[in-house]
Amino acid sequence: MTQRINYIQQSPELFKKFLEFSTLLKSGAIEEPIRDLVSIRASQINGCGFCLDMHVKEAHIHGERALRLHHLATWRESTLFEPRERAALAWTEALTKLPEHGVADDIYERVRTQFSEKELSDLTFEVMAINAWNRANVAFKTVPGSADKAFGLDKANLA
């Protein structure tokens, strides 16, 4: 695959601000394992090879079990995810594939049983951010693994 343009070089100030936004999310109310799962699941749905590669490596570095990563695409059938993780994944899917008539009340209510209002707000920003990154990297065909050294992902030893 050949990258179309390097959006980081073309829009460095926008990239810098968006990276700051994404970095700020790490200090939010959502714990790292759920952030990893959300990023991977949205990237799977959006077909973003660059982000999927990046976030699988990050999750591995963060200690996520390989089997859970393999089960993520079929999380509804898997017994490896806790109710809070399932709620986050349902919310991720609903916001990534926005239904024509909005997010259903039953999904919202299910998520609200697992997350406080602050957590749900932060989770929503997490989903917004990964979807934006997915769109940029899909649009410009960013090559998976091309930023591993810059982001320290070579430490995952998954190549």
Query: Does residue 77 form part of some domain?
Result: yes
Query: Does residue 76 form part of some domain?
Result: yes
Query: Does residue 112 form part of some domain?
Result: yes
Count of the separate structural domains present in the chain: 1
pLDDT of residue 49: 97
pLDDT of residue 1: 81
Query: Does residue 83 form part of some domain?
Result: yes
pLDDT of residue 74: 97
Q: What is the pTM of this model?
A: 0.95
pLDDT of residue 158: 84
Distances (CA, A) of 137 to 12, 14, 79, 102: 15, 15, 32, 26
* Domain containing residue 85: 31-141
111-145 per-position pLDDT tens digit: 999 999 999 999 999 999 999 999 999 999 999 99
| H-type alpha helices, the chain | 7-10, 12-25, 32-46, 49-61, 66-71, 83-96, 105-112, 117-139, 148-151
142-158 per-position pLDDT tens digit: 999 998 898 889 888 88
Please give the mean pLDDT across all residues of the chain.
Answer: 96
Query: Does residue 148 form part of some domain?
Result: no
Query: Does residue 106 form part of some domain?
Result: yes
Query: Does residue 147 form part of some domain?
Result: no
3-23 per-position pLDDT tens digit: 999 999 999 999 999 999 999
Q: Looking at residue 108, which CATH number applies to its domain? A: 1.20.1290.10
Q: Which DSSP symbol is given to 143?
A: P
